[in-house]
A and B are shown apart, each in its own frame.
Chain A
Amino acid sequence: MLERTIESYGQGIPYLENTRVKGRLIVIEGPDASGRSTQVAMLTSKLEADGHAVLNTGLRRSELISEGILEAKRNFVLGKRTLSLFYAADFADQLENKIIPALRSGYIVLADRYIYTLMSRDAVRGISTRWSHNLFGFAMKPHLVFYLEVDPNELVHRVFQKNSSLDYYESGADLGLSDNMFESFLIYQGLLAKQFRKLQKKYGLVPINGNRSIIEINKDLQKKIDDFLKN
């Protein structure tokens, strides 16, 4: 693959300016239970079979910070801005210590969610999109971003199949949208989807119809990735 200089959405990271990478950063975005992790696993196997070195990454996976976020969420103690910055710190740690070094060595980095999830969550919680955009001005622009779109009514059943219960945060229960957790989930996921559609236009996310079967979605994604890597 050809070497490329990394680009960012804002000012970037001054001390990493003009960093050149041989690898490619591909992101799969989508709500919980949209099938992201399954797709990432399938794509990883196929890309490795094709001879590419692949690194998987995702949100809240930084060794340093992720524990702190989990602990804080368990105790419901963090304000929205604090949580937002905490996630950004976790992301920055992974970006600089994991993603960029792997890209430099020529890896294909498959990210199970990226800054867009963080931005849409914040927007739903009333944080200005301008502030979020500026905050992530240091983030590297991925080479390719997919967004798995799943209808909230379909999504809720997938969540039940997976866990038989709805997650507090994924249902937006902290927002007080409804006393009824099921209803809260539908409203919250609807709001997130709306934010994602805005981000889709602004950041060039490629929408993927996630209401289809795992195999169908995979074929679609794999073809788009293969085409991208060929060019």
Chain B
Amino acid sequence: MVEGIDGSGKSTQIRLLEKWLISKGMRVFLTEWNSSELVKEITTKGKKKGRLTPTTFSLLHATDFADRYERNIFPLVHAGYIVLADRYVYTAYARDIVRGCDPRWVRQVYEFAIKPNITFYFGVPVDVASERILAGRPKLKYYEAGMDLNLSNDAYESYRIFQSRIIEQYESMAQSEGFVTIDGTSGIEEQQYLVRKKIMETIPECKSVRPLVKAQVL
């Protein structure tokens, strides 16, 4: 599983990881946050209307997660697949808590989810992530910028405050949840090397793959 704020580079990394595992002949499945078709439509509609309360927002994301969990994640893990998740329950913990939901409640809602074998956390300072996200984008979306929290009337300022609070949440979980923290400001190849190395150490099926030479990815 990979976690990190928008613009931390986690999606790039997980896709590279997926390519590698497939090339090694592994059975792989990649799942993304908020991607279940049915729920996505509703969340999008609610976002447009601007009437989603933090509790409803949280429960809709939980519905989306449960749908992917019951349909894909759970059965595939049992069938021996390597399931890669671009964001997992920690995204919910971080975002919903920042939005004002009760921390214990959010965790209880997601209690049914299995604990990942490895969670990579891509740490980047908020300025770096914002720059990546904002590059070439004239406008931020309402919820994306955390405008529903009334942090600031300026979308960019609001975004920065919102993302910093999410980073705080991630960092407070890093130790207790055993995140493998990757420096998201370092080079893409370098990060991918560390990710693959960790996968080889942790997942027994990956031990048999040819040892990764740094030069191969560079």
Contact = CB atoms under 8 A, between A and B. Distances in A.
A96 B38 CA distance: 23
B70 A77 contact: no
Contacts of B53: 92-93, 96-97
Contact of A65 (B42, B71, B100, B102): B42
Contact of A81 (B39, B69, B104): B69
A72 B62 CA distance: 16
Given A79-B67, A82-B63, A135 B108 contact: yes
Interface size range on A against B: 20 to 34
A131 B111 contact: yes
B66 A82 contact: yes
A89 B105 contact: no
A40 interface: no
Contacts of A96: 53, 55-56
Interface string B19-44: 00000000000000000001101100
Interface in A52-85: 64-65, 68, 71-72, 77-82, 84-85
B76 interface: no
Contacts of A14: 100-102
Contact of A68 (B38, B111, B112): B38
B45 interface: yes
Contacts of A86: 39, 63
Contact of A77 (B38, B69, B109): B38
B113 to A, nearest CB: 10
